[in-house]
Amino acid sequence: MGWIWGVAVVVAALALALAARTLLAGRRARGGNVMSMKKQRGKTTRCSHCGRKTDKVAFYADPGGKVVGLCRECKTKAAKNGFLPI
């Protein structure tokens, strides 16, 4: 009868490994989303407010909840206009 327990242990171990893999895969997918978001941000070199090209934009949420990338000049005015830094 000992072999039945051996099989049970193997089946349990396989189930655990599968569950762990599913969890890990989910985590990896979420990480991928973060990566693609970072890539998109890096590509944005145009100010959403004045349309000027800039080497660096700061991301803000406007009062309506829309995300905008602002150049240095617009950034200084953003706080007064109710924009929230992200």
Is residue 57 within the footprint of Zn ion (CB under 5 A)? no
> For residue 61, how far is the Cα from the chain centroid?
16
CB half-sphere exposure, 69, CA atoms < 13 A: 15
User: Using CB under 5 A, which of 50, 67, 84, 86 touches Zn ion?
Assistant: 50
Span interacting with Zn ion, options 2-10, 12-20, 32-40, 69-77, rule CB under 5 A:
69-77
DSSP type of residue 80: G
Q: Hey, how many other C-beta atoms are within 10 angstroms of the C-beta on 49?
A: 20
What is the spatial distance between Cα 42 and Cα 37, in angstroms, rounded to a whole number? 9
Q: Which is nearer to Zn ion, 6 or 42 (CB)?
A: 42
Q: Which is nearer to Zn ion, 47 or 60 (CB)?
A: 47
Length of the chain in residues, anyone?
86
Span interacting with Zn ion, options 2-10, 11-19, 37-45, 63-71, rule CB under 5 A:
63-71
Q: Which residues bind Zn ion (CB under 5 A)?
A: 47, 49-50, 71, 74
